[in-house]
Structure 1
Amino acid sequence: MLSLVPAAVGVALMLTLAAGAYAASRTDGLDYRTAVLAAAVAVAVGGAAVTAVSVAPAGEPAAADGSEPRVTTTPAPGTATPTAIPTPTDTPRSPSTASTVVSVAAGDRLTYRTASGAKRTVRLAGVDAPGVEGASPRQFDGVLTGSRGRACLADQGRRSVRALRGRLLDETVTVRVVDERGTPTAVVTHDSRSINRHLVARGYVRATDGRYDDAERAARSATLGVWSCTLVEPDRPIRADASTGLRIAAVHPNPPGDDAAALNEEYVVIENTGRTTVDLSNWWLTVGDTVVLLDGPALHPGTNLVVHVGTGRDTDGHLYLGATRPLLGNAHGTLKLSDGDSNRSVRLTY
C-alpha cells in the first residue's frame, strides 16, 4: 500500500506544473494546444515520480538514517527454489570398489573382476616394473648399463610378476582408479596396505612420481630387487687368494644421476674370507688402466672394506681413493687386486 506522503508529493508536483503551463499560455500568448501539451507532460512526470518512490512493505519501516529500506524477495507459492549447478571440481573421484584379482600380466599390471562380474585391467599408478624380457637400464637410473644390466632387469621383471601373483591372485582387493585415460591406472589395496607402495619398497618396481620416493630411497639403500642390478656380483663365488682369503665381493659402478657428481657412490667391496688378518698397506687396485695404492688398514677375517672412488675421511670399513673423475665403467670393466710384496692377486671382470 502506497504511503500518503509520497502520493501527496506527486499530486502537488502535477498541480504546480499544470498551473505553470496555464500561466504561461496566458502571459506569453501560447495557444491552447500548447497549454494542453504542457499539462499532459506534467501529468506524465508526476505519475512517474509517484511510481519511482521506493516504499517499504507494510510492517517494515524505512531506515532511520534515510537510506533505502531493504527489500526481501520471497518466491511465489509453488515456485521451486533454484539449485546451484556444481562446478567440475565438485565432481567426486572414481569410488573404490572391492574386486577379485583374476590375472597378473606384469609386475605393474593386473586384471580384476568386480562384484557385478565385469573384468577390468589396470596399471598400478605411480610405479613401473621391468618387463620379463628386460628393460632399458637407462629407465632405472643407477642400474648397470649394457647387456649385463638388461639381463639383470629381465630377471627382476620375472621376480616381480611371481611376487604379485603370489600375493594377489584370487585375492579380494580394493581398486581406486585415479586416471581413466588409455589403460586406467589405479591404487590397489590389499589387507589395508597399498600394493603400489609395497612393490616399490621391496624393489620390484621403480617410482615414477613423488608419492613413493621415500620407499624407493629405502629400497635403493638396501639394494633390493631392481636396485640389486646396480651392483656387480660374481655369478658364482670367485676363488679367493689361497694364502690371504681376499676377494672382490661387489662393484657399484653406476651411481644415480651424474657419475662425476657422485664419486663416492662408485665403490668396490673387498672381503676377507680367510682366517687371518690381512695388512692392506701395500695392496694395489687396478681399474682398467688406472692403478691405485690402497694403503689401507688391516682387514680382519669375515669383514669387508668399501673402497670409494671419491674423496672423504677414512673410517673403519671405508677407504677413499681421492679420485677426481669416475673410474668404474658403467657397462663393463676389469678389476684386479694385487699384493705389492708378492705375486698374489684377485681379478673380477664384468
Structure 2
Amino acid sequence: MLSLIALAVALVLVASAVAAARVDALDYRVALVAVAVALAVGGATAQVAPTESPASAVDAATGSDDPTRLAAATAPNPTATGNATANGTNATVLGIGDGGRLTYRTAGGDQQTVRLAGLDVPSAGGADPARFDGVLTGSRGRTCLAQQGRRALIETRTRLVGESVSVQSVDADGATVRVDGRSLNRQLVERGAARATGETYADAERSARSARLGVWSCAVVEPTSPLREANTSNVRIDTVHPNPPGDDAASLTDEYVVIENAGERTVDLSDWYLIADENYYFFGDRTLRPGEELVVRVGSGQDAAGVVYWGAPRPILDNDHDTLKLVDGDTDRTVRVTY
C-alpha cells in the first residue's frame, strides 16, 4: 500500500514540475531535474515499504494466524502413503483370494493384493498332498484338501471382507496381517486352514495336527455308513491313520487303526482279527466295553489299556488307497473299510 502512495506522490511532483516549467518559463532542464528527483523519492519509498509475508498469505487462506494450523497446511498428508504407523499400515480388506491371497485398500486409496507370509493354504481346487506331509496321498487326499481349502476360503471371506486390518510388512515372502491385534497368519495355521512353511508358526501347526483340525483331518480315514456287513455286535473301524508325518518307516507307531465298540454290550475279541495288505493282527484275549476304543499301532511297543502294537517291521497301511477288514472269526462277520 505504501508503495502505491509513494508512486502517486512522485507523479504529483512530476506534474507540478511540468506546470511550473510552463508558467515560469523555466528552462526545460529544470523540469527534467525535478522529474528525476520525484522518481527517485518514489522509488526509495517503494523499496522500504514492507511486503506481505508467506505466513500472512497462508493465514489469509486458512483464516487463522495459529502456527500449528500453518504447519498443518504445509505438511504432506500422511494418508497419501497409506496412513503408515508404528503398528503397520491401516487398511480395509476388499477380498480374500484362493490360496491365501488378500486384497486391501489403504486410507490413501492404494490397492494391493498380497500373499500371506509363512504359510501354505490349499486352493479350493485341491493341492498336492505331498505338500502337506502326513495327509492321505492320491485322489482321496487331494479331494480332502480341496474341501478344506473351500471351507477356509468361505470362512475367511465371511469374517474379514470389509473389516479393518493392519498390514505389518510386505516383502518377497508375502505379508503379515493383524486383525484386532492378532496375527491372521498364525490364526489360519492354528485353525488348520494352512500349514506352516517355516519355524514362525511351526508350534501352531503342531497343535492343529494333534487336534486333527482342518487340513490335518485329511490324515485320517473316518468311514461313513455302511460301516459293516452283517455285524450285529456293533464293533467297527472308527479311524485309519495311514500316513504319519515324515518317513513312514521311521514312524511306524504313528501309523494306526482305531477299533470302537459302538454297541451296548461288551464284546469278546479273542476270535477277532484285522487284515491289512495281507497282514493279520489277532486281538488275543482282549475285550471291548461299550463305547470303548482300541488303537492298533503298526510298530512295536508295550501293550497297554486302550492301545496294542502290531509289531510290523515296515509300514502296512497304504497312504493312497487300501481295504481293511475286521473279522469275527467265530461267525465270519466282517467289517470292511475301503479308502
Look up the match of 2:297: 308
- What displacement does 1:94 show? 9.4
Match of 1:208 in 2: 197
Q: 1:107 touches 1:204 (CA, 8 Å); kept in 2?
A: no
SS in 1 for 2:201: helix
2:147 corresponds to:
155
TM-score of the two chains, using structure 2 as the length reference: 0.72
Secondary structure of the equivalent of 1:211? coil
Q: Which structure's residues are more often helix, by fraction?
A: 2
2:125 is matched with 133
- Aligned residue for 1:83? none
Structure 2's unaligned 5+ residue stretches are 1-84
C-alpha contact 2:229 2:336 (8 A) present in aligned 1? no
Q: Contact 1:133/1:157 (CA < 8 Å) preserved in 2?
A: yes
- The aligned runs of 1:232-247 (5 Å cut-off) are 232-236=221-225, 238-239=227-228, 242-247=231-236
Amino acid at match of 2:304: T
CA distance in 2, matches of 1:343, 1:151: 34
The answer as to whether partners of 1:296 and 1:319 remain within 8 angstroms in 2 is no
Question: Could you tell me the percent identity over the aligned residues?
Answer: 56
**C-alpha deviations, 1:270-307, integer Å up to 9, x for none?**
11111101111221100021122122621111121111
Residue 156 of structure 2 corresponds to: 164
1:113 to 100, 105, 127: 105
RMSD across aligned C-alpha pairs, in angstroms?
A: 1.8
Give the residue type in structure 2 aligned to 1:204: A
Q: Would you say the 8 A contact 2:231–2:335 is kept in 1?
A: no
Flag the 1:241–1:193 CA change in 2: closer, same or farther, 3 A: farther
Q: Give a deviation string over 1:8-59, Cα, whole Å, max 9, x none.
A: xxxxxxxxxxxxxxxxxxxxxxxxxxxxxxxxxxxxxxxxxxxxxxxxxxxx
Q: Contact 2:274–2:325 (CA<8 Å) still a contact in 1?
A: yes
In 1, the alpha carbon distance for the partners of 2:134 and 2:286 equals 29
* One-letter code aligned to 2:190: A
CA deviation string 1:201-240 (max 9, x = no partner): 1100000010101100010011110001100112445147
How far residue 332 of structure 1 moved from its aligned partner, in angstroms, is 0.5
Number of aligned residue pairs: give it. Answer: 256
Q: Unpaired segments of 5 or more residues in structure 1?
A: 1-92
Contact 1:153 1:229 in 2 (8 A): yes
Q: Is the 8 A contact 1:94 1:178 kept in 2?
A: no
Once residues 99 and 151 of structure 2 are traced to their aligned partners in structure 1, the CA distance between those partners, rounded to angstroms, is 8
For residues 264-283 of structure 1, what are the structure 2 equivalents within 5 Å? 264-283=253-272
Query: Equivalences for 1:1-350 in 2 at 5 Å?
Result: 96-179=88-171, 181=172, 185-236=174-225, 238-239=227-228, 242-295=231-284, 297-350=286-339
Distance 1:131 1:117, change over 3 A: same
